[in-house]
Amino acid sequence: MESTLLNLPEPARAAEKNTSAPKNRDHSIPSFWVRDVPVFGDAILAPMDGFSDWPFRSLCRDLGSAMSYTEFVRAQHIVMAYEHMAARLTFDEVERPMVFQIYGDDPDELVAAALRVQDRQPDIIDINMGCPARKVVHNGAGVGLMRQPLKVARIFKKLSAALSIPITGKIRIGWDECRSYKLIARVVEENGGSLIAIHGRTKEQAYSGLADWDAIAEVKSAVKIPVIGNGDVKLAADIDKLKAYTGCDAVMIGRAAIGNPWIFSRLDREQVSPEMVDRMVRQHLERHLAFYGVRKGMILFRKHALQYLKLQHLPRAVRTKIITRENPEEFLELLEQAFALEESETQEN
Ligand X SMILES: Cc1cc2nc3c(=O)[nH]c(=O)nc-3n(C[C@H](O)[C@H](O)[C@H](O)COP(=O)(O)O)c2cc1C
DSSP 133: -
Least spacing, CB of residue 258 vs ligand X, in Å: 8
Give the x-and-dash track for 200-219 against ligand X (CB under 6 A): -------x------------
Burial status of residue 57 (CB atoms within 10 A of its CB: 0-12, 13-18, 19 or more): buried
77 forms part of the interface with ligand X (CB under 6 A): no
Q: Which residues pair with 168 in a beta bridge?
A: 126
DSSP code at position 63:
T
Q: What is the rounded CA–CA span in Å between residue 217 and residue 246?
A: 4
Neighbours of 82 (CB within 10 A): 15
CA distance 293 to 91: 17
Residue 173 contacts ligand X per CB under 6 A:
no
Residues 223-242 that bind ligand X (CB under 6 A): 230-231, 233
Distance CA 221, CA 263 (A): 27
CB 214, min distance to ligand X, A: 16
Q: Between residues 67 and 253, which has the closer beta carbon with respect to ligand X?
A: 253
Measure Cα distances from 165 to 119, 135, 145 in Å. 11, 29, 22
Peptide bond between residue 97 and the one before it cis (omega within 30 degrees of 0): yes
**Helix (H/G/I), strand (E/B), else coil: 230:** strand
314 near ligand X (CB under 6 A): no
> With CB under 6 A as the contact rule, which of the stretches 157-165, 187-195, 214-222, 251-259 interacts with ligand X?
251-259
Burial of 173: CB neighbours in 10 Å, binned 0-12, 13-18, 19+: buried
DSSP assigned state of 98:
E
The smaller minimum CB distance to ligand X, of residues 228 and 314, is found at 228
User: Which of 1, 254, 313, 328 lies at the binding interface for ligand X (CB under 6 A)?
Assistant: 254
Instruction: Report the Cα–Cα distance between both ends of the chain, in Å, rounded.
Output: 42
Q: Indicate if 131 belongs to the active site.
A: yes
User: One symbol per residue from 103 to 142: x for binding ligand X (CB under 6 A), - otherwise; what is it?
Assistant: -------------------------x-xx-----------
Residue 260 binding ligand X, by CB under 6 A: no
> Toward ligand X, which CB reaches closer, 50 or 164?
50
Contact pattern for ligand X over residues 86 through 105, marking x by CB under 6 A: ---------------x----
CB of 49 to ligand X, least distance (A): 4
Is 50 among the residues that bind ligand X (CB under 6 A)? yes
Residues forming the active site = 131
Which stretches of the chain bind ligand X, using CB under 6 A?
A: 46-51, 71-72, 101, 128, 130-131, 170, 199, 207, 230-231, 233, 253-256
